[in-house]
Structure 1
């Protein structure tokens, strides 16, 4: 049996058997190019609720409203974009290119209290806003209660 000393105060790069190899893996997996690409594959979404509606906001700048396709299958709201990228001859060579959504699909499960027939969507200032009305029985009703 071999005992190996472990010192938590040492830097993790020095604690490995091959410090140079750890540097290579750190540079690959901690590179902002890879982490940024993983985060930017689908646009970020905000979901909120008001008294009468549910709201979905999808941040997708640089697109047109014609690029979006919204579909509803049972209680699943699908938002998709399919863009064809056109390779134009330019004089610029990109070192890093972050904003390009070629295609993506986001799906949201609607609650039972949502009224599928009244869904409205608009796209302005790079944000797709979807308003989903609540059914009448699901709306919060408030009233004053008399104290006797």
Structure 2
């Protein structure tokens, strides 16, 4: 019958589309395994769309936020910290390396007012919505017409 409303459809990442393209052509090739992609939450408030990117172990200098046309790109690199010790690692499960995430911006975003801040391992990007143009109401005085048409 009806499909559910998808308010964030325009924010589907470019990376997901590329991954899907490769999965269709080469099912055994998985881009998710080949590079580090931090987890991203996207949600909407009354006046903004918020993007929160998990980047623990990084600082604000390691992250870049760029806008080109209608695409917001978040990139960065988490470097492997080589510890000078005689201990041998048995397992390393943390991800290291560079990442890039791209998001298509809806038309109602005010690109000039986008802000980003880094706090406790989370990069928070605030995308303010444009104020909606309200219809202007104009009152027009109605005059009575006399018998002569004036």
Give the TM-score normalised by the residue count of structure 1: 0.62
Determine the structure 1 residue equivalent to 2:91: 96
Q: Which runs of 5+ in 2 are unaligned?
A: 1-31, 135-150
Structure 1 or 2: more helix by fraction:
1
State the alpha-carbon separation in 1 of the partners of residues 133 and 71 from structure 2. 19
Tell me if structure 1 keeps the 8 A contact 2:38–2:55.
Answer: yes
Write out aligned runs for 1:1-148 (5 A).
38=33, 41-85=36-80, 87-137=82-132
Which runs of 5 or more structure 1 residues have no equivalent in the other structure? 1-36, 140-148
Q: After the TM superposition, list the runs of 4 or more consecutive aligned residues in structure 1 that deviate by more than 6 angstroms.
A: none
Residues 42-97 of structure 1, C-alpha deviation per residue, up to 9 Å, x if partnerless?
Answer: 10000000110000000110000010111111011111113554544322222221
Q: Conserved in 2, the CA contact under 8 Å of 1:113 and 1:138?
A: no
Of structures 1 and 2, the one with the larger relative CO (CA 8 A, separation 6+) is 2
For the Cα contact (< 8 Å) 2:36–2:97, is it kept in 1? no
CA distance in 1, matches of 2:47, 2:72: 18
* TM-score, normalised by the number of residues in structure 2: 0.61
Give the CA RMSD over aligned residues.
2.5
Name the count of aligned residue pairs: 104
